[in-house]
């Protein structure tokens, strides 16, 4: 319930629970019946059932304290949808170009960027350059057969460019990862058309429990002893 409701609504529920004497209080029944959000009445009914069967002697103040504790516990931020191309009113989303640059700006120590193709994308390239200027370590994982590295030729030599070790398979991943906290994954290559005009889809992940294993996997790919990627 804390994951689906805004904080101010949770606080209102906490204050309401403080006035309730027991799970059989008629005030609680009226609150459940008045909930407009789909499924919220059911959730409150289940809470009431557990209250009645597991802790019937607890007051509403105790339930309010439990809810406040759940509300204050750190919770992962939900994934954010990202698109390129036409935007409809049905999907709350952000455009790929702006999100890619935002993620790059958020890096303090490291950037992992992968793309099958790259062309133009001057805004992204400039943002990578600014990240290098503030001391961020940048690793670019690029598909060699598409000559993607040419798009980043203006970046300083300290930017490391990686290609697949000789194989018939290609590097097809597209991602931008800042440090170990934020990852942007999607279908878009780092090209002008993919970042703006093509119909593309992606997500931004800000849960470190999800992002950190992803970073560890790509760092494993870059380790020389694993013979998967080589410096270009």
Q: pLDDT for 76-131, tens place per residue? A: 677 888 999 988 777 667 889 999 999 999 999 999 999 999 999 999 999 999 99
Closest CA to 77 of 182, 169, 160: 182
Under a CB-based contact definition with an 8 Å cutoff, are residues 129 and 154 in contact?
A: yes
Residue pair 87/189 in contact by the 8 Å Cβ criterion = no
Q: What is the DSSP letter of 184?
A: E
In this predicted structure, which of 8-17, 126-135, 140-149, 178-187 has the lowest mean pLDDT? Answer: 8-17
* pLDDT at residue 167, rounded to an integer: 80
What whole-number distance in Å separates Cα of residue 30 and Cα of residue 25?
9
Task: Give CA–CA dist 209/193, Å, rounded.
Answer: 32
Distances (CA, A) of 12 to 15, 41, 58, 178: 5, 15, 20, 36
Q: DSSP letters along 186-215, please?
A: ES--EEHHHHHTS-EEEEEE--HHHHHHHH
β-pair partners for 190: 118
Q: Of the segments 61-65, 69-73, 152-156, which one has the largest average pLDDT value?
A: 152-156
Give the dihedral of Cα atoms 40, 41, 42, 45; nearest 10 deg. 130
User: Helix, strand or coil for residue 83?
Assistant: strand
pLDDT at 42: 83
pTM of the model: 0.69
Q: What is the dihedral of CA 34, 37, 39, 40, to 10 degrees?
A: -60
Q: How far is CA 18 from its chain centroid?
A: 35
**6-10, 48-52, 172-176: least confidently modelled range:** 6-10
List of domains in the chain: 7-72 (no CATH), 80-231 (3.30.870.10)
């Amino acid at each position: 319930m804390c994951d689906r409701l805004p904080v101010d609504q949770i606080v209102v529920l906490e204050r309401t629970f403080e006035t309730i004497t027991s799970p059989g209080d008629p005030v609680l029944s009226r609150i459940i019946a008045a909930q407009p959000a789909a499924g919220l009445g059911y959730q409150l009914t289940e809470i009431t059932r557990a209250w009645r069967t597991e802790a019937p002697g607890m007051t509403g103040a105790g339930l309010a304290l439990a809810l406040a504790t759940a509300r204050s516990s750190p919770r992962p931020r939900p994934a954010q949808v990202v698109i390129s191309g036409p935007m409809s009113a049905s999907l709350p989303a952000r455009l790929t170009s702006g999100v890619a640059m935002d993620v790059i700006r958020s890096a303090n120590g490291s950037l992992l960027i992968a793309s099958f193709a790259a062309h133009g994308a001057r805004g992204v390239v400039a943002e990578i350059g600014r990240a290098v200027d503030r001391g961020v370590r940048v690793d670019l994982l690029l598909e060699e057969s598409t000559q993607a590295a040419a798009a980043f030729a203006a970046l300083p030599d300290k930017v490391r460019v990686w290609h697949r070790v000789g194989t018939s398979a290609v590097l097809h991943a597209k991602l931008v990862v800042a440090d170990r906290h934020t990852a942007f994954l999607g279908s878009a290559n780092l090209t002008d058309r993919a970042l703006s005009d093509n119909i593309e889809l992606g997500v931004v992940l800000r849960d470190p429990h999800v992002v950190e294993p992803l970073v560890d996997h790509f760092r494993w790919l870059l380790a020389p002893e694993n013979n998967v990627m080589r410096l270009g």
